[in-house]
Amino acid sequence: MEHAQVEINRSRKLAIRQRSQRDRDWSKICSDLINYGIAPENAILASLNTSRTHRWDQTTRTLYLEISRRFRLILPDSAPGLRPDSPLLPKSAAQREAAPVRAVASPAALLPEPSPCTDLTFPISDLLPRHRRSELTRDSLAALLAFLDPDPERAGAQYVRLQTKLTRFFQGRGCATAAELADETLNRAGFRLARGEQIRALTGYLYGVARNVLREFQAHHEKHFLPLEELSLREHPIVIPEALPELRGAEEKVETMLVCLEQCLSEMAADSRHLLLEYYQDERRARIEHRKMMAIRLGITLSTLRIRVWRIREALEREVSKRLCLSTLS
């Protein structure tokens, strides 16, 4: 069995993401079904070769499935967001009556069952070809950390810094699963070091490995992931973006984040909090002028103020993100 996440994004492309590491939390790779496509209560996802549907996470609005190699997406005939002339809709009123809307209230209701609705079958594939993926072992991680710095703490910090940079690299190249590909890059370097091979300039080496991982990902992705646009007209779920309930989900997310942010702010050192809140005050020109005044008042340059506030903000963002992940998992 494999865990996977299914997403229909803004451009109506269907993406399937699989969990790449057992210890990675889901929220790292999750986007949600409801925000970027068809509401889950209107799209029934069922896997063909599985015994059960895994879990529907209300907070992140993500559907987690236990699946084997293929899954089936069933679109009820009267799903909101489908145009009246959608080829998915039944041709006659009689057909329409024979195809009632299925409201899915719980994961249990997502079990596959025969339906008169159109169903689309998609192959499941890995992010990378299975034989190309490197598993992170204790030895390879230890070898990589030892190479980065003899001091474990500094090595750990260096590892995180490299992972962040590589994640940015993959994001800049349009990969939705950037964090997993960054891990894969580091795993390969660790594997090579654990085998006793020499790496002279690590960042240059990592860049080369990252380019290879990117090429493999792109080739595999193009080969195995089926964009809905490539389906036949009969199978194509035409969606009216305006009719999608994505705003509802987005508002809820911001609200959750807002509560968490306010909590983190209240726990922050008072001077850091005041600095941050003041820095982001005002609109446009007034904000810029206000920042200049702040820098003068604090006796620092505008550039120093910018760096100082950015560091506070980054720490705050990391903390909020961490707490949101924990609340999602609990």
CB nearer to another protein: pick between 89 and 186:
186
CB distance 73 to 47 below 8 Å: no
Structure tokens at 20: 């790449």
CB nearer to another protein: pick between 58 and 232:
58
Q: Minimal distance in Å, beta carbon 185 to another protein?
A: 11
List of residues 6+ apart from 156 with CB closer than 8 A: 145
CB nearer to another protein: pick between 82 and 275:
275
Question: At 241, phi and psi to the nearest 5?
Answer: -55, -40
Q: Minimal distance in Å, beta carbon 255 to another protein?
A: 9
Q: Minimal distance in Å, beta carbon 231 to another protein?
A: 22
List of residues 6+ apart from 8 with CB closer than 8 A: 14, 15, 33, 36, 37, 38, 43, 228
CB nearer to another protein: pick between 56 and 82:
56
Q: Minimal distance in Å, beta carbon 126 to another protein?
A: 18
Q: Minimal distance in Å, beta carbon 251 to another protein?
A: 10
Q: Minimal distance in Å, beta carbon 280 to another protein?
A: 4
Structure tokens at 72: 């089936």
Q: Minimal distance in Å, beta carbon 294 to another protein?
A: 5
CB nearer to another protein: pick between 18 and 115:
18
CB nearer to another protein: pick between 65 and 82:
65
Q: Please, what is the angle between helix 178-194 and helix 138-148, to 10°?
A: 90
Residue 40: which of 57, 17, 19 has the closest Cα? 57
244 three-state secondary structure: coil
Binding site for another protein (CB under 8 A): 28-31, 161, 165-169, 171-172, 174-179, 203-204, 206-207, 250, 253-254, 257-258, 261-262, 265, 274, 276-278, 280-281, 283-285, 287-294, 296-297, 302-303, 306-307, 310, 313-314, 317, 320-321
CB distance 292 to 328 below 8 Å: no
CB nearer to another protein: pick between 72 and 220:
220
Tokens 């992010």 correspond to what residue?
127
Question: At 18, phi and psi to the nearest 5?
Answer: -115, 150
Residue positions counted in the chain: 330
Buried b (16+ CB within 10 A) or exposed e, 69-91: eebbbbbbbbbebbeeebebbbe
Q: Minimal distance in Å, beta carbon 192 to another protein?
A: 17
- CA distance linking residue 208 with residue 271, whole number of Å: 43
Q: Please, what is the angle between helix 270-279 and helix 302-329, to 10°?
A: 110
CB nearer to another protein: pick between 296 and 326:
296
